Structure 1
Amino acid sequence: MFKELAGAAEAKRALLERSGPVTRSEVVHLAAARGRVLCEDIASPVNHPAFERAAMDGYAVRAADTRGATPLSPVLLKIDGAAGGGRCVPVRTGMAAPPGADAVLMKEDAVVRGKEVEATAELHPYKNLAAVGEDVALGEIILREGHRLRPPDIALLASLGLSTARVFERPKVAVIPTGSELLPPFRERDLKPGEARETNSLMIGMYAEVWGGSPRKTSIVVDDPDLIREAIAENLDADLILISGGTSVGDRDYAPPVLEEMGELIVHGVRITPGKPTAIGMIAGKPVISLPGYPVAALAALYVFARPLITMMAHRTDLPRVVPAKLAGKIVSRPGYLTFARVSLKGGVATPIMTSGAGILSSVARADGFVLVAEEVEGREKGEVVEVSLIE
């Protein structure tokens, strides 16, 4: 049996207090920088725009030449190659302002009469004309350290002539699947009695990447403490090690004892359902999370422990995504345990799917999110408004 069960909040706090964000950085090309987090401020190397430019299609003018213009009393301007002195120049959006111009008369406010234009609106200086540096000034800080790059951010940087950005490295996440009964996925043969396809590491690795990590997966390690020890030792260059399976208290559950032997076993057994067998420890200063072999239990432990750790390491602040919803039915929870209740969502209504069933992965595939029912709460009632964490 488990020696002592830890509360989920207590276990997570112990894990996060012993860990920290990745401080290593790298320079990446902007074309591959979407979603990356800046490790330094970026100042503009140029004025943008670098020249005065038309913000509208129309006619570049000297604003003073349009004084008093109205639809009933238009001002006549001559079409020419320079502006000012009663002259105007046809321009398109984005064109450089011609000599003498300090405003742009929109086409909608102009009536062409041969080689002349009737201006029907009075303009002020820089009306419909972008000044030098109006968008971004030379030396202006445009993006701060810690900012997660989005497509418009990257487009802005590229428009300033930049091609790279210095970002934090993604935390390296080693995924070690264990189990003598497991076969690699995608192998085209029928399973023999007692065998199972190893898919946890597939799910774990994908989530590590979604949350900002750089995952790498080892081959399946059979239930042998020496081989598990060897796999861990070979991956201590990672920032985080996630072990799948072998974490309960059976005769072939070697992960927690190996973790304790190689470093510090902080927690073995957490009051979370599903996910009770989860173990957490540190080896050579690196956090190690030993996840249950049952897939839903592994997913629950991933969300409760690995997600906050990976996002912290990756300097991510945009997760988790949570939405309010009204319960269509009662959620039954286990008193004293944090309960991972799967729900479907439609029109702001959350329908409970399942709170137990650590191995029923289809319950997650049918779910849009989950509700975490706190340890001190005995279920949630139909009609209650709850927070639903969306499954990425």
Structure 2
Amino acid sequence: MPRKRVTSGSCAEVATGSTIPPGATAVVRVEDTDRDGEAVKIFAPVRMGQNVVRRGSDVRRGSIVVRAGEEMTPAKVGVLAAVGRAQLKAFVRPTVAILTTGDELVPPGQRIQPGQVYDVNTYTMAAVTRENGGEPILLGRVSDRAAAVRTALRRGLDNDLIVFTGGSSAGERDLVVDIIRSLGEVLFHGIAIKPGKPTALGHVDGKPVLVMPGNPTSCLTNGYVLLRPMLRRMAHLPPTSPRTVEVPLGNLIERIRGRLEFHTVRIADGTAVSAFKESSAITSMAHADGYIEIPADVDRIEKGASVRVTLF
């Protein structure tokens, strides 16, 4: 910063953002000037305080710029840098072990054989995890054998949360819930929602273990309904604020009562049109704009009825 005092008829060069020298009352852009030897010609009118920001006008001494518990954004990182903070304490992102059961599963990118299907759930659960403050640890496919499931679960215990996809329904080879029960405690097995009924939660050695259905739509639905709030709480993030719109229903929906249903829809021409196919069809979610919640005691919603759509 120039130390010499600026008096009437004189000027000094300063860098953008620096402190102005004593006596200076305005700043002129260099684009509006021309140096002529020792003299500086100014080609624009100048007023008192022009291009000058008063000290403390942005951040006052002692003011709070970021509160504890707030999620860091690029703007908040910038304001911390602006006040000279090079480091701060932050919560560690919880690590989430993701395991998928099924001898029939093949990772994307490999050639598929008769009787095999591509693994979808590993990647949707990893995406939900990243989106909600967690760090996914992909432990791969687990064979439908008790010893393999037990070994995989023990590997997963190095992390903060373990997520299994598959192995939660009543199939003969769905062993995960029984293994959790043998090593720890099952808190619940089965919830009254559609899709996603065969879901379980337990804990082993103090670590929560969430077991999702193998069907991709059921798994992703519970990723939003169960995994997301669990993760955000573990990551010390605030709950999500869902975006909703109210529009007329574009088609009749009939169903069997008994479970809360998350029914996927597309928004088309100002109406909500059913996008749900079946629990195994991931395109039900990929081609949808959101979902409507159908209460357990409702079996019919008429075309034209006003529905609230929670947007993805």
Give the match for residue 345 of structure 1.
267
Give the match for residue 166 of structure 2.
245
Q: RMSD of the TM alignment (CA)? A: 3.1
* 1:133 lines up with 2:56 in the alignment: yes
For the residue of structure 1 that corresponds to 2:292, the secondary structure is strand
Task: Please state how far the C-alpha of 1:390 moved relative to its aligned partner.
Answer: 3.0
Given the superposition, is the C-alpha separation of residues 285 and 380 from structure 1 closer, same or farther in structure 2, using an over 3 Å criterion? Answer: farther
Task: Please state how far the C-alpha of 1:244 moved relative to its aligned partner.
Answer: 0.9
For the residue of structure 2 that corresponds to 1:226, the secondary structure is helix
Preserved contact between residue 324 and residue 385 of structure 1 (Cα < 8 Å): no
For 1:180 and 1:316, locate their aligned partners in 2 and report how far apart those are by CA, in whole Å. Answer: 36
- Alignment partner of 1:200 out of 93, 103, 121: 121
Give the match for residue 191 of structure 1.
113
Give the match for residue 221 of structure 1.
142
For the residue of structure 2 that corresponds to 1:287, the secondary structure is strand
Where in structure 1 do 4 or more consecutive aligned residues deviate above 6 Å? 114-122
Given the superposition, is the C-alpha separation of residues 215 and 278 from structure 1 closer, same or farther in structure 2, using an over 3 Å criterion? Answer: same
Gap regions ≥5 residues in structure 2: 31-38
Partner amino acid, structure 2, of 1:315 = H
Give the match for residue 273 of structure 1.
194
Task: Please state how far the C-alpha of 1:252 moved relative to its aligned partner.
Answer: 0.9
Query: Where do residues 379-390 of structure 1 align in structure 2 (5 Å cutoff)?
Result: 379-390=300-311
For the residue of structure 2 that corresponds to 1:265, the secondary structure is strand
- Cα deviations by residue, 1:160-196 (Å, 9 ceiling, x for unpaired): 33333321111111111111222222113x421x221
Preserved contact between residue 99 and residue 142 of structure 2 (Cα < 8 Å): yes
For 1:372 and 1:91, locate their aligned partners in 2 and report how far apart those are by CA, in whole Å. Answer: 64
Gap regions ≥5 residues in structure 1: 1-50, 52-80, 108-113
Partner amino acid, structure 2, of 1:243 = F
- Alignment partner of 1:158 out of 61, 81, 94: 81
- Alignment partner of 1:365 out of 286, 297, 301: 286
Partner amino acid, structure 2, of 1:339 = E
Preserved contact between residue 82 and residue 88 of structure 1 (Cα < 8 Å): no
* 1:167 lines up with 2:87 in the alignment: no
Partner amino acid, structure 1, of 2:126 = G
For 1:127 and 1:333, locate their aligned partners in 2 and report how far apart those are by CA, in whole Å. Answer: 69
Task: Please state how far the C-alpha of 1:347 moved relative to its aligned partner.
Answer: 6.7
Q: How many residues in Structure 1 have an aligned counterpart in Structure 2?
A: 302
For 1:173 and 1:278, locate their aligned partners in 2 and report how far apart those are by CA, in whole Å. Answer: 17
For the residue of structure 2 that corresponds to 1:163, the secondary structure is coil
TM-score normalized with structure 1 length:
0.68
For 2:103 and 2:19, locate their aligned partners in 1 and report how far apart those are by CA, in whole Å. Answer: 71
Partner amino acid, structure 2, of 1:283 = V
For the residue of structure 2 that corresponds to 1:342, the secondary structure is strand
For the residue of structure 2 that corresponds to 1:310, the secondary structure is helix
TM-score normalized with structure 2 length:
0.84
For 2:109 and 2:200, locate their aligned partners in 1 and report how far apart those are by CA, in whole Å. Answer: 29
* 1:143 lines up with 2:59 in the alignment: no
- Cα deviations by residue, 1:237-289 (Å, 9 ceiling, x for unpaired): 22211111121112111111112121111211111111111111122222211
* 1:178 lines up with 2:95 in the alignment: no
- Cα deviations by residue, 1:121-162 (Å, 9 ceiling, x for unpaired): 975xx5753233332234433111111111111122223333
Given the superposition, is the C-alpha separation of residues 175 and 106 from structure 1 closer, same or farther in structure 2, using an over 3 Å criterion? Answer: closer
Q: Percent identity?
A: 33
Larger radius of gyration: 1
Given the superposition, is the C-alpha separation of residues 122 and 253 from structure 1 closer, same or farther in structure 2, using an over 3 Å criterion? Answer: closer
Give the match for residue 209 of structure 1.
130
